[in-house]
Amino acid sequence: MAPSKKPWQKRRKSAASNNELTVLPINPLTVSEESDRNLLERKVERAFYEAGMALMELRDRRLYRSTHATFDEYCRDCEASRRHRFDYTRRRPYQLIEAAQIYDNLIDKCAKILHILPTKEGQVQPLSQLDRESQPLAWETAVEKAGGKVPTGRIVKEVVQRIKDETSAPVPFRVGEVCQIMAKDNPELHRIYRSLFLVLKFVNISFNLIPLIKIGN
């Protein structure tokens, strides 16, 4: 009799059975099951995107207003109601919304032949440090660096940092210069600091986060 061509799988029994092996048949998926599997896997991969889009619609349409005064309160609610048990921190919903917006941006602007999109929120978050025009380029660069596969969050972060380093403007200050502190868009602080001057003792790459006017040497 001809040997069976049916695929087989070896499965190890428990140690109590002297590590004997039993051979069990592998049931192949039908075409329909294979399609269902791919669809479900895509849903799992896009879970952060679906959550972000849902939260954005809840916020923009103010669908929380029947039970909560603000969107933040709605997201933090951890009462027994089944309708709203997200128990998010204040920042968390906005992180998901931002991730969904970046994902949409990649869909719109990345090369159509690429068809490689983020599967985890951690792969998207580093892109939030770039403007919308730079995000697709950074993602495509990360995909290329990953060998044409979905890059890890670490790879995306490295690419983003390199782009930031290449495009960052030089700090226009030197040690020893006299500067005046300016409280931008805050009249109260402007009255406090308008006559305050300082001498720079050191300068680092994040110094441009402090709004200053250079007075002289």
Q: What is the pLDDT of residues 153-190, one digit of tens each?
A: 999 999 999 999 887 766 666 777 776 666 555 566 66
**Percent of the chain with pLDDT strictly greater than 70:** 61
The whole-number pLDDT of residue 162 equals: 93
CA dihedral of 46, 47, 48, 49, whole degrees rounded to 10: 50
Among 180, 185, 133, 137, which Cα is nearest to 162's?
137
Q: Tell the residue number behind the tokens 């889009």, with chain if given.
A: 53
CA angle (185 as vertex; 179, 191 as ends), nearest 5: 60
Which segments of 61-152 does DSSP mark as H helices, in order?
Answer: 71-76, 92-109, 121-124, 134-145
Q: Tell the residue number behind the tokens 């920042």, with chain if given.
A: 91
Q: Which helix (H) or strand (E) holds 11?
A: strand 8-12
Q: Of 16-20, 36-40, 175-179, which gets the smallest average pLDDT?
A: 16-20
Q: Give this prediction's pTM.
A: 0.60
Domain boundaries, the chain: 109-167, 178-216
